[in-house]
Structure 1
Amino acid sequence: MSQSAPTPGNARRADVGDSGSAWAAGGTMFAGVLLLVDGFLSVVKGIAGIAADDVYARVNNYVFEFNTTTWGWIHLILGVILLVVGWGILKGADWARGVGVGLASLSIIANFIWLPYQPVWAVVSIAVDVFVIWALCTYRSKSAL
């Protein structure tokens, strides 16, 4: 049997399937950029916490109370790792997607605990991390199919 040219109906169905994949692929690229930005912001938060204890508000009687220097080191280390993984996602490394989901999850937890110190930036970072997890979990490359 010879193959016939695709009919307009078939092409339209293929386009619909590809547009969802295109959104996810674009979302994955954007997730890599967001991981880079989130990593950079975490590095800045970390440096600020390490440099001076008076940069962030003092919180009394908080369950997860660390001094700001400890929080600074936590954010600095997490930020550097997020930068590396974000770069790996932009380069298309297979390992970076799984590690990115795990690190974005850790970042959500760290920022949730960080809420009393910097509520606005913590909520922004949590929202970015939720999108990163969605984008990295929904995209499937053509080689994976």
Structure 2
Amino acid sequence: MVLFAGVLMLVGGLLELFRGIMAVARDDIFVTTPRYVFKFDLTSWGWIHVVVGALVALTGIFVIRGVVWARMVGVVIVSISVLDSFLAIPYYPLWSLVVIALDVFVIWALCAYHDA
């Protein structure tokens, strides 16, 4: 289960990284919401996604390798990814909800792990 969570972290982190690159390079492909409380420039959101995606993917590599601290760090980083995706719902709603669902599964898999 933890191996699967690590693979999901790696793939999801890379996809978040690419989503961030899309927002930095061509922010006109995203929906804009005029009166959103957490409104940032889409380029700023793009850089946030790049950083969070890179951290999730990097932590996923360590989870796959079986490093103990990576599970704890993974829960924190993926929780930040959930918050990041929640705040970005108005810009890319469907993808944000998919990422939130996958991240919740990853958090569960990392927390439910026990040595046999």
Above 0.5 in TM-score? Answer: yes
List runs of 5+ in structure 1 lacking aligned partners: 1-26
What CA distance in whole angstroms lies between the structure 2 residues aligned with 1:130 and 1:59? 26
Aligned counterpart, 2:81: 107
Structure 1 residue runs of 4 or more that deviate by more than 6 Å after TM superposition: none
Q: Normalising to structure 2: TM-score of the pair?
A: 0.97
Larger radius of gyration: 1
SS at match of 2:28: coil
Among the aligned pairs, what percent are the same residue?
46
Query: 1:61-72, aligned counterparts within 5 Å?
Result: 61-72=35-46
- Paired residues in the alignment total 116
RCO (CA 8 Å, sep 6+): is it higher in 1 or 2?
2
- Offset of 1:141 from its aligned partner? 2.0
- Offset of 1:59 from its aligned partner? 1.1
Please state if 1:129 is matched with 2:103.
yes
Aligned counterpart, 1:52: 26
List runs of 5+ in structure 2 lacking aligned partners: none
Q: Normalising to structure 1: TM-score of the pair?
A: 0.78
Please state if 1:93 is matched with 2:43.
no
Please state if 1:117 is matched with 2:58.
no
